[in-house]
Amino acid sequence: MAQLIGGLATSHIPAIGGAIHRGAQNEPYWKPFFDGFPPIHQWLGKVKPDVVVVFYNDHGLNFFLDKMPTFAVGAAATYSNADEGWGIPTLPPIPGCQDLSWHLINELIAKEFDIVTCQEMLVDHACTLPFKLFWPEHEVAPVQIVPININTVQFPLPTAKRVYKLGKAVGEAIQSWQSDKRVAVMATGGLSHQLDGERAGFINKQFDLQFLDSMETNPEWATQFSDLELVEKAGTQGVELLMWLAMRAALTAAGSGVRKVHSNYHIPISNTATGVLALETV
């Protein structure tokens, strides 16, 4: 059986790609953000996942507002990036793990999740940048991926409760995958931020820290909130924290609990309160 070894989460702001490209990691603006990663690099070097299931939200590169799936699972052999217009370099394709994709798709549909299956899927900054952050030494991270897109772009969004259930079902499917691979789950997005409207620039440190804490001690905490309450508390784009909830719910399938490897919280990068987290299953 496959082994679900732990979870990763990070913010996914496009400007991070520019900073990596320019080698600006040690500049005063960027250092407090990039300093969150070395302890996680060390852990990844030790636990060496083979496959990463990535919960992320596409921002218009693969799915546009005319056709917006609530949940979509990748089943491609490779996932290409493309120019999104942020002025950051396009990254090389990431290899997919089709065997796990199809196992997840079969298990999720059997459990009544009406997902969209994507045998071709472009991946945007939300899926590509985290691999540059967690595996900075590699041109392409030494893993295969299964991307799972959760709509946080156009209302109606899936509820936090539903996202939690999806995450748990994904974790259970990973656990039942007939493979000797080591699997990690990853979430990208958040934490609090709002890019437009009257509250542009909105950040809520108190809520973010409570949410980060809940990842360790009380994983279902955020499921008490409706999507509109999450937007009120975390901002219109801060609702991306639903990915973190899916990642954490997946880990509950692994058994007894989690140990925090490392976390970091820093305000701001661009318009966003940034969070980074690694959890190991125990």
171 versus 275: smaller Cβ distance to ligand DHB = 275
Identify the residue among 6, 12, 253, 279 touching ligand DHB (CB under 6 A): 12
The residue number with the shortest CB distance to ligand DHB is 270
CB 150 within 8 A of CB 160: no
| Minimum CB–partner distance for residue 223 and ligand DHB (Å) | 22
CB 216 within 8 A of CB 260: yes
CB 91 within 8 A of CB 128: yes
Write the interaction track for ligand DHB spanning residues 197-226; mark x where CB under 6 A is met and - where it is not.
Answer: ------------------------------
Tokens of 226: 């409706």
DSSP labels for 74-89? Answer: E--SEE-----SSS-P
Strand 94-95 relative to strand 182-188, pairing: unpaired
With vertex at residue 142, the alpha carbon angle to CA 167 and CA 70, rounded to the nearest 5 degrees, is 30
Among the listed ranges 8-16, 61-69, 103-111, 113-121, the one in contact with ligand DHB (CB under 6 A) is 8-16
60 versus 255: smaller Cβ distance to ligand DHB = 60
Nearest-angstrom CA–CA distance, 43 and 32: 19
Among residues 53, 95, 103, which one has the least CA distance to residue 78? Answer: 95
Q: Does 14 bind ligand DHB (CB under 6 A)?
A: yes
| Minimum CB–partner distance for residue 12 and ligand DHB (Å) | 6
- Does residue 125 carry a catalytic annotation? yes
- Does residue 193 carry a catalytic annotation? yes
Q: Does 266 bind ligand DHB (CB under 6 A)?
A: no
DSSP 8-class letter at 104: H
Q: Does 181 bind ligand DHB (CB under 6 A)?
A: no
Write the interaction track for ligand DHB spanning residues 234-253; mark x where CB under 6 A is met and - where it is not.
Answer: ---x--x-------------
59 versus 233: smaller Cβ distance to ligand DHB = 59
DSSP 8-class letter at 200: T
Which residues carry out catalysis? 125, 193
